[in-house]
């Protein structure tokens, strides 16, 4: 007989539960044993990961990095880009 370790483990858990006579006070929604699947003390991880797909693409692909840098240079020369960069420099402070 070849049984996987997880099957044997689950069988032992089921045997232990069958031998117990749990009090109805200790049940939650009709379940005597609640298994928490996620960590409640950590915030949910972003779906894109810690850096995100776009940032990883920028960091790992020289052609994409060059394309993005060229776009940023052209944007910086536009009226909107100049306003954006000036606001970044002033950090929202009004120009005097």
Q: Could you please report the per-residue DSSP string of 20-51?
A: ----GGG-BTTBS-----S-TTSPPPPTTTTT
Token pair of 44 as six digits: 């949910």
pTM: predicted TM-score of the whole model, two decimal places: 0.40
On average, the pLDDT of the chain sits at 78
**CA dihedral sign of residues 13, 18, 24, 25:** negative
According to DSSP, residue 82 is labeled H
Task: Give the pLDDT score at 56.
Answer: 82
12 three-state secondary structure: helix
Cα separation, 22 vs 11, in Å, equals: 18
Task: Give the pLDDT score at 70.
Answer: 95
Q: Residue range 29-45: average pLDDT? A: 67
């Amino acid at each position: 007989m070849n049984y996987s370790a997880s099957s044997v483990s689950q069988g032992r858990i089921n045997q232990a539960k069958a031998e117990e006579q749990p009090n109805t006070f200790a049940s939650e929604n009709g379940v005597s044993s609640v298994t928490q699947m996620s960590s409640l003390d950590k915030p949910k991880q972003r779906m894109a990961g810690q850096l995100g797909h776009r940032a990883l693409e920028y960091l790992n692909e020289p052609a994409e990095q060059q394309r993005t840098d060229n776009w940023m240079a052209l944007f910086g020369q536009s009226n909107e880009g100049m306003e954006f960069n000036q606001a970044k420099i002033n950090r929202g402070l009004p120009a005097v």
